[in-house]
Chain A
Amino acid sequence: MSDLVNINIDGKPCAVPAGLNVIEAAKLAGVEIPHFCYHPNLQVAGSCRLCLVSIGTPARDRATGEPVLNPDGTQKIAFMPMLAISCGTKVSEGMHVVTNSPQVKAAREGVLEFLLLNHPLDCPICDKAGECKLQEYSENFGRGRSRYVEEKNAKPKKVPVAGGRIMLDAERCVLCSRCIRFCREIIGRDIFGFIRRGSKNEISVYGDDGGDSNYIMNVVDGCPVGALTEAAFRFKMRPWFMRVVNCVAPESSAGVNTNVWVRENTIYRITPRANPFVNDSWTSDSSRYEYKIVNSDLRLRRMRVDGAPCEPGYALSRAVDVLKSDPRIAVVASARQPLEEQFLLAEFASMAGAKVYAVSHLGEDDGFLVSADRTPNMRGLFVSGLIKEYPKPDLSDLAAEIRMGNIKTVLCLCEDATSLGLEEKDFKLANFVYCGVNDSLTARLAKVALAISSNFEHAGLFINRQFRLQKFDKAVCAPKGVLDFSAIAVKFINAFGASLAENPDIGQLRMRISEMCPILPKGCETGEGGVVIDSSAFASIKFPETKSLHFLDNE
């Protein structure tokens, strides 16, 4: 940990890490300093002036350098005559910060009043209402009523940005420049900019409006007010009606932390959740719409035996029959399943004496938050002991074994084997049990197809590219007739002679796997930001990810 410095905020002494700015230090001390332009992951602009506080440092005699004392012997604090911005001031030893003086209060009221001069005050029809900083601060720190009686300036409204994915309403903008800085610093080119001066100053977009960027939506989360709103989410749901579930994006091995917003078993949007070790405050645009799988037409919704829909109980017992029909068995593991399910599959594979196959799904590494490995939990396959080498992108090995007659039964998880080197005739040579979220040709050809819950419908653990173990919660309930793979796997394992508790509780499962695997923390407790597990056993494996945000950059 970095060194601590002693400061005093509103009369309360506290020790905070050196190098912090006053906003962050006050947050640690439990004091909120309102701010618009400051964002922890962007450069400091110091332009909104809402974070003004009075700051004083211990007084020293100019000539001698001796500390100046008050008559009562305490150190005299020299306050600066003007207020200072807390976002642009770093804490120093002995610093005094006052955030509740009449002077500070007047400054905040002034700034908020100026910001509201040309604001349309249209909260009832604004989509950001309920999570708008201007609304909150006006309520908490504002004057309460405006003294402005003149005409307001009108600015452009409903401007489509980023190919229509974002709506810009310049009248609501507080000119914080976060969107400008995000595009410049993170996307790497200018997309937003200010035009005109003074009260006519407004936010605007260049001709290249970032429609091709996979990160532009982050400006919507960054915008403290309703100036930038997400077109797909606009007017769908008020923020205060929704519940927020902590999840991890299953998009790639980056393991981006996300908030999934749910109301009455429906997911309305996904936004990034800040994790300074993984994704800062950002996520890719593509990861925001992954929840569509939950209600997609591609989904496998009913269990099937020999292609005919049937009840889950019957399908399960048929699946057990198929798996026990021949000892020449293989399993196709999936790097898209959470760690708990991978461990259960590994247990099944060892009890049934099955050969294990897996498939890698590779894409282009964008050097930021979409990594080359497009599965969230490839590391989990290694940790659970299912595989030892980085898998091929297809199942050609399995196909060859089936054709030679060495494999007669296959338990295939999630992978659409028909697009990975297996042909229709192979399904005649071996009996397939398919467990998957999506319907596919494999599901239709398999002897038994079992519908399982998606990663939004169960809790679990993923291990990302940093070997960081992260947990995610269950966002919604699976559709009727769809089972968790963990429940199915326990049935299979028990069919081969074990006696595990049916419908295992996630806590017990985690405790069990942490006992089986010493590199996992006890009970797989990951804490807030996840824990990095010891990966020395896997050092020789060649993973495809390249250097990107918080990955390989400080090693």
Chain B
Amino acid sequence: MWISRITKRICAGGGRLEDPDLLLSIADGICGRTVCAHGEGMAWPVQSNVSKFKDEYLAKIRRQLAGEGASRLDNNSYRLI
């Protein structure tokens, strides 16, 4: 829930520069510590996606912070939902 709310916020134009690290740290907090394997099933994609494409996350957030905001319809907004 937390992760989806953060990603939705980023897509909606409210991203913060610390968000990618936060996403990773949340995913790390789930992996290997849950009773149910669904936890890892949800955390692994986040871990790989955010660590591999962190620069793209940051780039998008920077553009938002620079005032281009959510109105910009690039493919990123779809990829991140």
Contact = CB atoms under 8 A, between A and B. Distances in A.
Given A117-B2, A198-B1, A83 B9 contact: no
Which of A83, A110, A117 has most B Cβ within 10 Å?
A: A110
B29 A110 contact: yes
Given A147-B22, A150-B9, A46 B35 contact: yes
Contacts of B2: 114, 117, 148, 150, 199
A113 interface: yes
Contact of B35 (A49, A113, A114, A117): A49
Nearest to B42: A198
Given A198-B1, A199-B1, A49 B34 contact: yes
A375 B77 CA distance: 73
Chain B at the A interface: SS class = helix
A106 B34 CA distance: 14
B33 interface: yes
A46 B35 CA distance: 7
Contacts of A198: 1
Contacts of B32: 82-83
B9 A52 contact: no
A111 interface: yes
Interface residues of B, number: 13
Nearest to A81: B32
A113 B9 CA distance: 20
A151 interface: yes
Interface residues of A, number: 21
B5 A114 contact: no
A110 B6 contact: no
Which of A148, A150, A198, A199 has most B Cβ within 10 Å?
A: A150
A194 to B, nearest CB: 13
Contact of A111 (B5, B22, B33): B33
A106 B9 CA distance: 26
A199 B9 CA distance: 17
Contact of A150 (B6, B29, B30, B34): B6
A47 interface: yes
Interface string B39-80: 000000000000000000000000000000000000000000
Interface in A129-154: 147-148, 150-151, 153
B66 to A, nearest CB: 21
Contacts of A153: 1
Interface string A77-111: 00000110000000000000000000000110011
B5 A47 contact: no
Contacts of A82: 32-33
Q: Which 5 A-B residue pairs are closest in the complex by CB-CB distance?
A: A110-B29, A199-B1, A150-B5, A82-B32, A49-B33
21 contacts: A46-B35, A49-B33, A49-B34, A82-B32, A82-B33, A83-B32, A83-B33, A106-B29, A107-B29, A107-B33, A110-B33, A111-B33, A113-B29, A114-B29, A117-B1, A148-B2, A150-B5, A150-B9, A151-B5, A153-B1, A199-B2
